[in-house]
Amino acid sequence: MPNRIVFSDIDGTLLNPERELSEFTISEIKRIKKEIPVVLISSRMPSAMTHLQEELEIGNQPLICYNGGLILVDQKAVHSTFIPVDIIEALHVFNKEQKVHISLYHNDDWYVPKMDFWANREANNTKVSPQVKPTNEVIESWKTSNIGAHKIMCMGEENHIDTVFNFLKRNFDDILHLYRSKSTYIEIAHKNISKLTAIEILLDTHFNIPISEAIAFGDNYNDVDMIKAVGVGVAVANAKKEVLEVANAVTLAGKEDGVADYIKNNIL
């Protein structure tokens, strides 16, 4: 039966209107966690997920961060795919007038050029504080270390975001996955990774569980592949139409404890 492991998205799926875990969600995941592993899977950085793991008492489980760009097992990276630094530099040069905020992420480091409206809002949402460092200095440091970005987040007014999106699409469409989570956001990841590729890696190398026996919860475009591939893909009621169309089941909205409600009525 497809109930040997649970994967859950976070934002829009697992959290309540205060962007926190409800007592109902905490109690239901605690109820099943000894029998069924519960793995959080998100575009977030590790430290924006570990406090949720602690509340759920599932800190012993792996984390899938950056939409699959970074997989942690026992707090150690077992898989890492990042965006090359030359692409970051090209984006920085294109954005020379700084009309768009660019956040750069690698592992548990988050760099912003300044604490502007966008940085403050993201810090409030994720409960993580970034490091303030000029983008060109981050680029030079990463060149020396031969690393890149697990995620780039571009935030700004919609017309400026459209311009950056078109630039990246035109020049790096074969390398980058560009995800418009909002009209004012672009989440950028390497095209070789996804939530589904990360699930497949973990199931094969860590859990030895077939994907047909997995359940996944999600709400947004970056959840479509995993919802479609697992044994039971569950969409929350507020999910995008594309997610609802491929889901095996639809539960209550994320802000109405949809994940917990499904677990209560269908698992153990």
Identify the CATH number of the domain in which residue 207 sits: 3.40.50.1000
Q: Of the residues 170, 190, 210, which one is the last residue of a structural domain?
A: 190
Residue 129 carries which DSSP code?
Answer: P
DSSP H helix total and E strand total for the chain: 10, 14
9 is catalytic: yes
In CATH, what number is assigned to the domain containing residue 111?
3.30.1240.10
Residue position matching structure tokens 């660019």: 102
Q: Which of 97, 101, 121 is nearest to 112 (CA)?
A: 101
User: Which structural domain, as residue segments, surrounds residue 104?
Assistant: 85-190
Looking at residue 170, its pLDDT comes to 97
Report the number of distinct structural domains present in the chain. Answer: 2
Statement to judge: residues 154 and 107 lie in one domain:
yes
Indicate which residue of 9, 109, 219, 223 is catalytic: 9
Q: For 100-157, what is each residue's pLDDT tens digit? A: 999 999 999 999 999 999 999 999 988 899 999 999 999 999 999 999 999 999 999 9
Statement to judge: residues 160 and 240 lie in one domain:
no
Q: Of the residues 190, 218, 233, which one is the last residue of a structural domain?
A: 190
Looking at residue 1, its pLDDT comes to 54
Say what the alpha-carbon torsion angle 106, 109, 113, 118 is, to the nearest 10 degrees.
90
Q: For 231-247, what is each residue's pLDDT tens digit? A: 999 999 999 999 999 99
Statement to judge: residues 177 and 208 lie in one domain:
no
List the end-to-end C-alpha distance of the chain, in Å, as a whole number. Answer: 11
3-class DSSP string for 69-95: CEEEECCEEEEECCECHHHHHHHHHHC
Statement to judge: residues 138 and 198 lie in one domain:
no
Statement to judge: residues 178 and 257 lie in one domain:
no
Statement to judge: residues 151 and 217 lie in one domain:
no
Statement to judge: residues 40 and 127 lie in one domain:
no
Show the low-confidence residues of the chain (pLDDT under 50).
none
Statement to judge: residues 203 and 74 lie in one domain:
yes
Q: How many beta carbons lie within 10 A of that of residue 88, not counting itself? A: 22
Looking at residue 2, its pLDDT comes to 65
Statement to judge: residues 132 and 145 lie in one domain:
yes
Average pLDDT over all residues of the chain: 96
Statement to judge: residues 233 and 152 lie in one domain:
no
Q: Of the residues 155, 190, 225, which one is the last residue of a structural domain?
A: 190
Looking at residue 3, its pLDDT comes to 84
